[in-house]
Amino acid sequence: MKGFDRLRHVPWSALEGLESAVGPALDDVLAGKAADRVLDRLLRKHKDATADQRTAMAEALFGVGLWRRRLGDGTGLQKLQRLIDGHPEPASFADRFSLPDWLAAELQRTDAPEEFADALNQPGPICLRANRLRIDRDALARQLAEEGVETVPGRLAPDCLVITSSRPNLYGLRAWNEGLFEVQDEGSQLLGVLVDAQPGDDVLDLCAGAGGKTLQLAAQLKGKGRVHAVDLDLARLERLRTRATRAGATVSIHGRAPPPGLRANRVLVDAPCSELGALRRGPDLRWRLDPKDFEPMPALQRALLETAVQHLAPSGRLVYATCTFRPEENEAVVRDFERAHPQLTRVRPDVDAQLLDADGFLRTWPHRHGTDAFFASVHAAPRL
């Protein structure tokens, strides 16, 4: 099991003498506090910590946060010792992969639950998207190398670079300050590829958030056309405004709703969802989620699709996407939408065939593609 075995290479001996600080931090994580915030406070109190100490503290907090079920009962330090010692592998699926019962049941509905669970228990790669408004992927790779950051090209998305250097400070780079890249998972980049925005298009990003994919769509337009950004969270849209300026992107920010008369050639609905596809980005998050919160999601997602189709121009393209693998939020939502709008045609997108299922839906998986788990469908509107 790669997720657990990787812990053998952590410099655990660096924690000697730090037990009085690490123990309470571990207990905070077990009590439900977010591990990343607890770690931030711990590192701030130990600004003189060595690189090995910082690495070991991070692995301790995230490791105990993630593996708590497999490690049994006890205090944070007791669980940490079992983590270091290599606790024996339990028999049950939920215990072995340290999953809450509800998540174990969700994973068992997939076609490769053990491989998927193991992948969710490993850190995801750091992926960058070259900002085509300023630089292409190869030139970005060369500039990053000059700044001491090594990368390899992504396998699936045309503008993706995968970081191979150990823990680089990306936000301190000249390339970042010049707006040459965004940090974006390769699976997320594929969703922008599906939109296939062309110079001159009007593009509606109906759930823009802080704008990672919005900026990708703006780059596709090459300065010709316009991206219209909408989101219920106005604070996130303000962050998008700042990011767009740094990236040299032209984005029209409309607030919570699109202009009534807008008809867009391309519409992206990157819908709010349970976000289970990105669990490896927050190893302890699974213990802070309540599956009851997922129940309203399909109705919200359907409502967003209804808004989207009202703003879709003739011959336009509509992309619906989530970062989850739950059928209730994915194909069930799409099929219900299709029944209500038979004039739309489901399109099998022009991407690597390994990313598409028999129904033409895009699906990415950490254990197969190295990305977070995404779902997407593409529909075309008829001509007038």
Task: List, for residues 164-210, the tens digit of each pLDDT value.
Answer: 998 899 999 999 999 999 999 999 999 999 999 999 999 999 999 98
At 184 the three-state DSSP class reads coil
What is the model's pLDDT at position 384? Answer: 78
- Number of CB atoms found within 10 A of residue 111's CB: 7
User: Would you mind telling me the total number of residues written for the chain in this entry?
Assistant: 384
Q: Six-digit token pair at 252?
A: 């029209």
Give me the torsion for CA of 146, 147, 152, 155, rounded to 10°: -110
What is the model's pLDDT at position 89? Answer: 87
Q: What is the pLDDT of residues 231-262, one digit of tens each?
A: 999 999 999 999 999 999 999 999 899 999 99
What is the model's pLDDT at position 271? Answer: 97
CB of 213 within 8 A of CB of 276?
no
What is the model's pLDDT at position 210? Answer: 85
Q: Six-digit token pair at 224?
A: 């010709």
What is the model's pLDDT at position 141? Answer: 98
- Does the pLDDT value for residue 33 go beyond 90? yes
> What are the C-alpha distances in Å from 83 to residues 54, 214, 349?
17, 41, 44
What's the CA gap between 217 and 208, in Å, rounded? 11
What's the CA gap between 197 and 199, in Å, rounded? 7
Position 144, amino acid: L
Question: Annotated catalytic, 323?
Answer: yes
Q: For tokens 């998540």, what's the residue?
A: 103
Q: What is the pLDDT of residues 259-299, one digit of tens each?
A: 999 999 999 999 999 999 999 999 899 999 999 999 999 99
What is the model's pLDDT at position 166? Answer: 86
Q: Kind and range of the H or E element at 337? A: helix 331-340
Q: What is the pLDDT of residues 98-132, one digit of tens each?
A: 999 999 999 999 999 999 999 999 999 999 999 99
φ, ψ of residue 71 in degrees (nearest 5): -85, -5
Q: What is the pLDDT of residues 296-329, one digit of tens each?
A: 999 999 999 999 999 999 999 999 999 999 999 9
At 353 the three-state DSSP class reads helix
Q: What is the pLDDT of residues 145-165, one digit of tens each?
A: 999 999 999 999 999 999 999
Residues 127-183, CATH architecture:
2-Layer Sandwich (3.30)
- Does the pLDDT value for residue 59 go beyond 80? yes
- Cα 206 to the center of its chain, rounded Å: 18
- Does the pLDDT value for residue 211 go beyond 90? no
Domain boundaries for CATH 3.30.70.1170 within the chain: 127-183
Residues 6+ apart with CB under 8 A from 17: none
Domain boundaries for CATH 3.40.50.150 within the chain: 186-380
- CATH placement of domain 186-380: 3.40.50.150
